[in-house]
Amino acid sequence: MNRRKQAILSDDEIVDVLINYIDEELYNYAVMIDGEWGCGKTYFIRENLQDKLEKHEKEREEKDRENKARRVVYVSLYGVKSLEEVSKQMLMESYLAKTGKAKGILKKSAEAAGTMLPIIFDIIKPAVGVEMDSENISKAIGGFLSVKDSILIFDDLERCDCPVNEVLGYINTFVEHDGMKVIIVANQKEIGKRTYFENLELKYLVAAHENIDFEKKSNKKSLFEENAQINPINREAVHIDTVKSRLNQLFAQDVMYEKVIEKLVGITIYYQPDLQRVFSTLIENSSLSGKLQGYLNEQKYFFEEYMTGEEHSNLRTFQFFLSKINELYKVINKIDSEGQEAFFKYLIQYSFKVCVSFKNNSLKDEWEENEEYAFKSMGERDIWGNHLAFRFVDDFVTKSVLDEKTIKNMLQLFEDEYINKKGHEVDIFRQLEGSWYFSEDEEVQSKVQLIMQAIENNRYEFKEYPRIIGLFIELELAGFSRENTDIVVKMINNNISKLNSHINIKNGYALLQEGEKRKRYNEIIEEIQENIDLQFEERVSSTFDECLKLESGWGEKLEKYVYDNRVDICDSNGFLRQMDIPNLCRRIEKSGSKDINAFRGCILSLYVQGYMGKGLEMDGERVQELRNGVEGISNEKFDNIKKLQLRYLISNLVAAEQKFS
């Protein structure tokens, strides 16, 4: 049954049902509270139900002294390996309940219980034997640690390390034989899985064994079967699916579990937390700043709606999200920018989606190389993929990597996208990008023509082109002409000649699509970038050649060029590979100390002191060639200062070679 279709009770309604249960005397049964891991079952029991039951018992005793108030004994079965350990837990918790110390003590495993009461348990064990039911325990210790007059809560049934049916049989003694009220808390989907996977390789060997008859067959054998027995080599291998089916037949506890539960449990309540109320409590009890708490409280309805829609009402995921969003807030709060608040509010929702996807194992790592942002789908219900996604959030959630520089860049991109005013042509493109999938063909084609006309007239900044190309590829899949994309690419390449400075069109935008669409997009962007690089390499080479024709001042001119174009040089163009090295050596030989000193500044800033991008990584051989050339210059006729500058230059080039090695 789909649990979401079951009637969901609120926390208060569940309390009312359980109070009616503990007062009822018609027949003996237990109550099961069933729910997903992390949905807050234990939190509800410890912080709500336990207090309400204890209060009800006290009020009941005050009204009628003959109704002695029963203690509420909470027992966690997490990691329990034997019924003996369960009994240890019960003794300890009963004692703590009797002395009023149980509240706030939540046992993480039975091991802790075993270390706190080993002496008393070992004393009473010989007296009661192996069967540790409530009557035997009470008799053995004279009522001091009696559990008979208690309401028992057994939590974490599915996390028990001994056979679950044995545990349920043990619990049944309290219900059926002693008439006690018992509440069992579990995630029934996970029942039996811990023991099911023990010694799995041996279980597979048994399930695949040829001598086990898994199907009832007639005693009469066919001629084929008789031949198969005579010639065992003809037997076919057992398919893995068949082995798994047999494994379930032999070792699964489902059938027996269902029978025991049917006998033991009278009411099953599926627990779905009051998410907004729990969110409020978790936010309020956190160490988050007041301002951040305000932002989060504004989004409680969204958090609930998204978690419910993704069928992942997990409070541990929400706590995980709080830790991540707190760190993001600390970084973004330091950035002084017009769009800071709007950016962070957007990130609250996006980060929450990423956390939920990460924790329910549906988050895909689709980013490649230098991709930083994209429009993609988030969650099962999002089919169009038009949500702005940021790689830095994905990386922080999954790998705890946080790059403040990238955050600042993405904040600027967010402002450009949603806050800053844009031209008419950009507005048309944004409108089509965000609405084409529910527009009429005629409207889409009309806007496509306007966008193509704007590209032809060079009305878009180059940073818009990757998204435009991505949109046109999307439209191809919807049935629009591929020719449109080809024409757009041709016009973009024509516009390269109008650029005043080198740019990197691979600016972090990603088309997160599978297969041919993504491959084609990457090929187009790579082609455009190569054309840009080629044109500016020619311009750079020409610039450097012009500098080296100068008899004096060439070094200072190169130094200024490096200062103004450092990013392009590092990421794309390079430096020494754009020069004729023999010609450069001749120019150094004929130059004065001032130009050599300025040229040394170029070498130091690019190759020794600074970060070398992809553009400079290809200059290694040229650095060595230049050092060899300078070392070959005869300095007999140079003055002392020029000789000193040449020695310094050689030393700088040696340091640069070490960076490459």
Count of domains for the chain: 5
33-47, 333-347, 392-406, 642-656: the lowest-pLDDT one: 33-47
Task: Report pLDDT for 408.
Answer: 93
Stretch 188-212: mean pLDDT: 59
Stretch 601-613: mean pLDDT: 86
Of 192, 218, 244, the position where a domain reaches its end is 192
The token pair at 630 is 């300078």
The token pair at 19 is 């109070």
Label residue 130 by pLDDT band (50, 70, 90).
Answer: very low
225-234, 404-413, 415-424, 624-633: the lowest-pLDDT one: 225-234
Residues 309 and 241 in one domain: no
In angstroms, the CA 503 to CA 572 distance is 9
Cα atoms found within 13 Å of the Cα of residue 396, Cβ hemisphere only: 25
Residues 201 and 186 in one domain: no
Task: Report pLDDT for 235.
Answer: 52
Residues 203 and 328 in one domain: no
Label residue 262 by pLDDT band (50, 70, 90).
Answer: confident
Task: Report pLDDT for 15.
Answer: 93
The predicted-structure confidence for 57-102, as pLDDT tens digits, reads as follows 999 888 888 888 888 889 888 888 888 888 887 877 776 666 555 5
Residues 447 and 317 in one domain: no
The string of DSSP letters for 453-517 reads: HHHHTT-S-GGGHHHHHHHHHHHHHTT--HHHHHHHHHHHHHHGGG-SS---S--SEE----THH
Residues 414 and 459 in one domain: no
Label residue 10 by pLDDT band (50, 70, 90).
Answer: confident
Task: Report pLDDT for 96.
Answer: 67
Of 395, 418, 441, the position where a domain reaches its end is 418
Going by their DSSP bridges, the two strands 265-270 and 30-34 should be labelled as: parallel
Please classify residue 149 by burial: count the beta carbons closer than 10 Å to its beta carbon, then call 0-12 exposed, 13-18 middle and 19+ buried.
middle
Residues 175 and 73 in one domain: yes
Closest by CA to 110, choosing from 153, 147, 81, 74, is 81
Sign, CA dihedral 135-71-21-8, equals negative
40-49, 104-113, 177-186, 420-429: the lowest-pLDDT one: 104-113
Beta strands in 147-211 (DSSP E): 150-155, 181-186
How many other CB atoms are found less than 10 A from the CB of residue 287?
6
The token pair at 445 is 């084609």
In a domain, 23, yes or no: yes
pLDDT top residue among 538 and 554: 554
Residues 554 and 503 in one domain: no
Residues 476 and 523 in one domain: yes
Q: Does residue 105 carry a pLDDT above 50?
A: no
In angstroms, the CA 30 to CA 375 distance is 51
Residues 407 and 470 in one domain: no
In angstroms, the CA 88 to CA 176 distance is 21
Residues 16 and 58 in one domain: yes
Task: Report pLDDT for 112.
Answer: 47
In a domain, 544, yes or no: no
Residues 586 and 499 in one domain: no
* Residue 265 bridge partners (DSSP): 30
Mean pLDDT of the chain: 81
Task: Report pLDDT for 484.
Answer: 95
**42 within 8 A of 106, measured Cβ to Cβ:** yes
Of 377, 398, 418, the position where a domain reaches its end is 418
| Residue ranges making up the domain that contains 67 | 3-192
**627 within 8 A of 661, measured Cβ to Cβ:** no
